[in-house]
Amino acid sequence: MMPDLNPETDLHFTRHLAAPRALVWECWTEPRHIPHFFVPAPNKVTAVEIDLRPGGRFNTTFDVDGNVMQNHGVYLEVVPQEKLVFTDAYSEGWKPAPDPFMTAILLLSDAKDGGTTYTAIARHRSAETAEMHRNMGFFDGWGTVVTQLEAYAKGLAR
């Protein structure tokens, strides 16, 4: 179910993926898959830690143009094969982050052709932060990630 969206603070899009929902879910929830799609190429994910439960960690380390970037966060909601909600507002143990950026909501449902309807939402604390994310290239960046996810998942299809 689509949450209420605030056009001032929430960025979102929906895409059809030609991969089954169970496989898309697996890609998002097993650390071995994340490096294959999670950041736009040629950038790389160099480390992933997942503890898939509310309050569990979702930590990633990226190499972006030679710069190491760490993102520590937690899962807020996990509904198997339907919904993932994670945020950088906290790290594991509910430790508040000094400068949180957003909460991500991923919604998955079955498409009629055996694929997946994929909705990504980036929820921000303020209109200014959302606008900054839009200007950073939210739609292109997250769109590239979902394209990479689809190609990777199709390669894994059983």
User: Is 97 in contact with 91 (CB distance < 8 Å)?
Assistant: yes
> What confidence tens digit (pLDDT) does each residue in 28-85 have?
999 999 999 999 999 999 999 999 999 999 999 999 999 999 999 999 999 999 999 9
Domains and CATH numbers, the chain: 11-156 (3.30.530.20)
Residue 1 has pLDDT above 80, yes or no: no
Residues sharing a CB contact under 8 Å with residue 38, sequence separation 6 or more, in sequence order: 45, 48, 60, 145
Residue 2: pLDDT band (50, 70, 90) is confident
**DSSP per position, 60-110:** EEEEETTEEEEE--EEEEEETTTEEEEESSEETTTEEPSS---EEEEEEEE
Residue 158 has pLDDT above 70, yes or no: no
Q: How many angstroms separate the first and last alpha carbons of the chain? A: 28
